[in-house]
Amino acid sequence: MASTRTETAARPTSANTTYAVILAVSLCHLLNDVMQSLLAAIYPILKADFTLDFWQIGLLTLVFQGTASLLQPVVGMTTDRHPLPQSLPVGMTSTMVGLGLLAYATTYPMLLLGAGLIGIGSAVFHPEASRVARLAAGGRYGMAQSVFQVGGNTGQAIGPLLAAFIVVPYGRPSIAWFAAAALLGIIILQRVGSWYARLHAAGGGRPVKGGAVALSPARVRAAVTILAVLIFSKAVYSASVSSYYTFFLIDRFDLTTQQSQLMLFLFLGAIALGTVLGGPLSDRIGSTPVIWVSVLGMLPFALLLPHVDLLWTGILSVVVGVLLASSFPVIVVFAQELVPGRVGMIAGIFFGLSFGLGGIAAAVLGVLADAHGIDFVFTLCSILPVVGFAAIWLPRRRELRAH
């Protein structure tokens, strides 16, 4: 009984959500993704400095996101069985080293290595940080996942601004200045890792188990597959915008690099807003309605986006970004509920799947952009939200738990 009381006291309940830890991992997600987003934000600079083709830009994205995709599920499955609280600062360190290579690279292979190290940092950070957010949620899983993810989305949105006002004026070596952000993140993550280690020790060193799911294994597999399909459509669309939006704006509206990065900030900022809205909303009304609104609500706006003027491009980018992102934390939490006790594996697979599919898409879209132009790529991607109709086969939340 004593050990049970200790474990119960140590583990947050719905009345004891550990906001400090959630905010800490969210802040570190922001710092991590600021550094990661610099890669895409400086693509125009890299293209000019190294005279790259679009397929080489796509390959950089593939190496970054592909590395993260391959390693994240492995990290998640490993830490489900053997939690590694102090792995979080290690991931941040890998990202910092990768940035240094991007700052001082003299050859294209060095750029690829830097992108790969950033991908490794992402692979180590995301599954364990997502687990920590869930452990600290106290039952408010949608809220915790949204706060955690909005840190990353905010970092992705800030990255282009920092590139526009720091890297563009001061040159590519100024990327190394962001090592200060990495050092701050490492310090915070060491404290978070200590909290996580104490929580793990209080539970006797055992992985946290989940509740039973009322669905059959076949139904669970089908539901997880549907969620993966939804992630696929979002990842490909997001990759097309994140990697090539600046080139689209420069080509279509004759914007400068700085102006195009400010527009990218609008889109990525909208993604951050959508992320922070989606999780708490799903806690109130359920996962499926939020997923429906997200994946199908953006369809008409995405279809219009490649065909409007600059003003409406900015407006529609914001609308699409909010709707696109609102269901991502919901999808992750939904999948974690479908496969209880495998938080790291699910986070690794879904974050990794998103990165990996986005990277593959970026490489393919780069080839298509070279062959047919940027306008063709955006028009092609605008039909991807149609995939959202697959959500009709998702189980309702009340079906998940046995009575």
What is the SS3 assignment for 139-169? CCHHHHHHHHHHHHHHHHHHHHHHHHHHHHH
Q: What is the average pLDDT across 191-207?
A: 76
pLDDT value at 215 more than 50: yes
pLDDT value at 348 more than 60: yes
Which residues neighbour 241 within 8 Å (Cβ) at sequence distance 6 or greater?
267, 317, 381
213 strand-pairing partners:
401
Which fold, 2-399?
Answer: Growth Hormone; Chain: A; (1.20.1250)
Q: CA-to-CA distance for 103 and 87, rounded, in angstroms?
A: 25
What DSSP state is assigned to residue 101? H
pLDDT higher for 41 or 10? 41
Query: pLDDT averaged over the chain?
Result: 82
Q: Which residues of 378-393 are buried (b: 16+ CB within 10 A; e: fewer)?
A: beebbebbebbebbee
Where residue 123 falls among pLDDT bands split at 50, 70, 90?
confident
Where residue 318 falls among pLDDT bands split at 50, 70, 90?
very high
pLDDT of res. 185 = 93
Which residues neighbour 15 within 8 Å (Cβ) at sequence distance 6 or greater?
138
Q: CA-to-CA distance for 141 and 135, rounded, in angstroms?
A: 9
Amino acid at position 158, single letter: I
Between 43-50 and 54-81, two packed helices, what is the crossing angle to 10 degrees? 130
Choose the weakest-confidence range: 57-71, 95-109, 138-152, 192-206: 192-206
Taking only the tens place, the pLDDT of each residue in 249-263 is 998 899 988 788 888
Taking only the tens place, the pLDDT of each residue in 168-177 is 888 888 888 8
Give which of 159, 324, 346 is closest to 235, Cα–Cα.
324
Determine whether 82 is exposed, middle or buried from the number of CB atoms within 10 Å of its CB (0-12, 13-18, 19+): exposed
Q: What is the average pLDDT across 40-69?
A: 84
401 strand-pairing partners:
213
pLDDT value at 211 more than 60: no
Where residue 111 falls among pLDDT bands split at 50, 70, 90?
very high
pLDDT value at 247 more than 90: no
Other beta carbons within 10 angstroms of residue 18's beta carbon come to 19
pLDDT of res. 311 = 94
pLDDT of res. 191 = 92
Is 336:57 a contact under the CB 8 Å cutoff? no
Share of the chain above pLDDT 90, in %: 18
Choose the weakest-confidence range: 4-18, 130-144, 288-302: 4-18
Give which of 329, 313, 8 is closest to 152, Cα–Cα.
329
Is 276:290 a contact under the CB 8 Å cutoff? no
pLDDT value at 328 more than 90: no
pLDDT higher for 327 or 188? 188
Choose the weakest-confidence range: 62-66, 204-208, 370-374: 204-208
Handedness of CA 109, 111, 115, 121 (dihedral sign): positive
pLDDT value at 21 more than 70: yes
Determine whether 81 is exposed, middle or buried from the number of CB atoms within 10 Å of its CB (0-12, 13-18, 19+): exposed
Phi, psi angle pair for 183, to nearest 5°: -65, -40
Region of 11 (left: φ > 0; alpha: ψ -120 to 50; beta: rest) is beta
Token pair for residue 40? Answer: 């895409």
Determine which helix (DSSP H) or strand (DSSP E) holds 250, and give its type and residue range.
helix 217-253
Token pair for residue 247? Answer: 């080139």
pLDDT higher for 150 or 206? 150
Q: What is the average pLDDT across 284-294?
A: 83
With vertex at residue 29, the alpha carbon angle to CA 25 and CA 35, rounded to the nearest 5 degrees, is 145
For the chain, what is the radius of gyration of the CA atoms?
20
For residue 212, the SS3 value is coil
**Prediction pTM value:** 0.69
Choose the weakest-confidence range: 35-44, 51-60, 92-101, 366-375: 35-44
Q: CA-to-CA distance for 64 and 359, rounded, in angstroms?
A: 7
The full set of domain ranges for the chain reads 2-399
Q: CA-to-CA distance for 45 and 203, rounded, in angstroms?
A: 50
For residue 331, give Cα distances in angstroms to 269, 274, 380: 20, 13, 24
Taking only the tens place, the pLDDT of each residue in 217-235 is 888 888 888 998 888 788 7
